[in-house]
Chains A and B, each alone.
Chain A
Amino acid sequence: MMALLGRDLALALRSGGGFGLSLAFFLIVVVFVPFGVGPDTEVLARIAPGVLWIAALLSCLLSLDRIFQLDWEDGSLDALVMAPLPLEGVVAMKALAHWLTTGLPLTVIAPLLGVLLDLPGPAAPWVFLSLLVGTPALSLLGAFGAALTVGIRRGGLLLSLLVMPLYIPTLIFGALTASRAGEGLDFLTPFALLGGVTLLAAALIPFAAAAALRINLR
C-alpha cells in the first residue's frame, strides 16, 4: 500500500502536469473573480469564502482523469488487480495520493490567496480548516468518477459532469462554514456536517469505485 502511495506521489511530482498546474489554475480563477465582479472590496470580502471554495473544487477536477487513466492505458491496472492488494485499498491510496498532490496544496495556499479577495480575518482559518476537512471528499468522489470513466476515450468532460453533482453537499457545507465564520455566525453545524460527508465518502466510495474498476476491466 505504501509502495503504491509512494509511486503515485513520485509520478505526480515528476510529470509536468498534475501538481503545479492545479495550483496555477487555482490562482488564475481567484484572480479572475475581481475582473468579473469589480474591485469593490466589500463585495469581494463577502463572496471570498465561496469563491475560494469553488476555485479549489474546479482545480481539483483538472487532474482527476489521471487517477486511473494512465494505469489503465499502460496495463498497470491489470497487474494491480492481480496483485495481493485489495482493490478498495488501491482506490483509497490513489485518492490519498491525489489529495496530497492537489487538495492539500490548495488548502494551504487558499488563505494566502484570500488576501487578494479581502477575505475577512476571522474567516481565513476556517477557509483553511473547511478545505482541509472537505477536499479529501473531493478526491474520493473524483476517484469514483475516474473509475467509472476509465474505459472511455476523452472522458474528461463526462467525468466532470458525473462528479460535480456529487460535490454539491461538500461545496455547500464547506463554503457555509467559511462564510459563516467570517460573519460571526454559528459555523460548527455545517463544519460537522462537512466532516460527516467526507467520512461517508471515505466509507462508501472505495467500494463503489473498486466495483466500477472491476466492471471496466472485464
Chain B
Amino acid sequence: MTALELAPYRDAAPLEVRDLACRRGERLILEGVEFSVPPGRALILRAPNGAGKTTLLRAVARLTPPVRGTISLSPERMTWFGHADGVKAQLTVTENLDFWARVHGSDTIAPALAAFRLEDLADRPAAYLSAGQRRRLGLARLLVARRPVWLLDEPTVSLDSATVATFARVVGAHLAAGGLALIATHIPLGLDEEDVLDVTPFRARENAERAHDPFLDAGFAPMAGARDGTAQDGETRP
C-alpha cells in the first residue's frame, strides 16, 4: 500500500465545544458537554448504546439544534456520515460520487476512488456492490466534500478488517492534512492521533431534565388515583 496524501486544508482551526446541552426528541439527553479537538487529531466517542453519541454528533452538526452551549466551528466546515450511507443503488459508483463532488464544487473524484480502492468498480451500478464495497463508496463522499471536520457515526459497521484498515488510513491522511474528526465507534481504528471521550458522565441530571421539560414540573396536581388533593375532585367535573 502506498502512503495516502491529501491536499492540506486551508485555515485549520480547532473544534471547541463548551457547555453543550442536547436533546433527542423532546428529552434532554446530555448536558455540560465540553471538549476540544485541535487540527490533526481525532476524538473517539465511547459510551454504551443509547447514551447519546449520535445525539451529540447531530448536535455538533446542528442537524438537531443544541439546547444550549457553543460550538466554535460552523456546520459549513463539517461533513456528516451516519448509519445510512446515502448510496443510490440505481446509479453507478462514479455517478454516486460525481453527484456529491458537484454539490460540493469539487472537480475530481479520482483521489477518492483510489483511496477507497474503488477504481475497478467505477462503472458498476451500486446495486451490484457488496455491503462492504457499498460502505466504502459511502465513505468516499467524505473525501470529495473536502471539509476539515468529519463527523462519523459508527462508520465501521459492516466493514471487514481489511476495509477498516483502509478507512483508518484515509482518516490518518485526513488528520495529517490538518483535518479533524469526531468518531462514534466501538471498533478501535488504531489511529496514532486519537483521544477518547466517554460521553456517559455528561448524561443529563434529573433536575436539568426537569428544568428542560415543563411537563416534569413538580407543581402538577397529583395524577388520577391519588387521593390526597382537593384539586383532584374538581378535575373530573365537566
Contacts and interface: CB of A to CB of B under 8 A. Distances in A.
A–B direct touch in complex (beta carbons closer than 8 A): yes
Interface of A: 2-4, 6-7, 10-11, 14-15, 73-76, 78-85, 217-218
Contacts of B82: 75, 78
A85 B104 CA distance: 9
A82 B78 contact: yes
A79 B100 contact: yes
B87 A74 contact: yes
B80 A10 contact: no
Contacts of B65: 218
Interface of B: 61, 63-65, 75-76, 78-88, 90-91, 95, 98-100, 102-105, 138, 141, 145
B86 A11 contact: no
The 9 A-B pairs at the shortest CB distance, nearest first, are namely A75-B84, A3-B102, A76-B86, A14-B90, A75-B86, A218-B64, A7-B99, A83-B103, A82-B80
Contacts of B76: 84
A2 B141 CA distance: 18
Contacts of A217: 63-64
Contacts of B91: 7, 10-11, 14
Contacts of A10: 90-91, 95
Given A3-B102, A11-B91, 17 more contacts: A3-B98, A3-B103, A7-B88, A7-B91, A7-B95, A10-B91, A10-B95, A74-B84, A78-B63, A79-B80, A79-B100, A82-B63, A82-B80, A83-B100, A83-B103, A83-B104, A218-B63
24 contacts: A3-B99, A3-B103, A4-B99, A4-B103, A6-B99, A7-B99, A10-B90, A10-B91, A14-B91, A15-B90, A74-B88, A75-B82, A75-B85, A78-B86, A79-B81, A79-B86, A81-B63, A82-B63, A82-B75, A83-B103, A83-B104, A84-B104, A218-B64, A218-B65
Nearest to A73: B84
A84 B63 contact: no
B103 A74 contact: no
A84 B105 contact: yes
A85 B90 CA distance: 23
A81 B78 CA distance: 11
Contacts of A14: 90-91
A75 B91 CA distance: 16
Nearest to A10: B91
Contacts of A6: 99
A14 to B, nearest CB: 4
A80 B148 CA distance: 17
A76 B79 contact: no
Contact of B88 (A4, A11, A81, A82): A11
A218 B61 CA distance: 11
Nearest to B83: A75
Nearest to A16: B90
A46 to B, nearest CB: 43
B25 to A, nearest CB: 8
B23 to A, nearest CB: 8
Contacts of B80: 78-79, 82
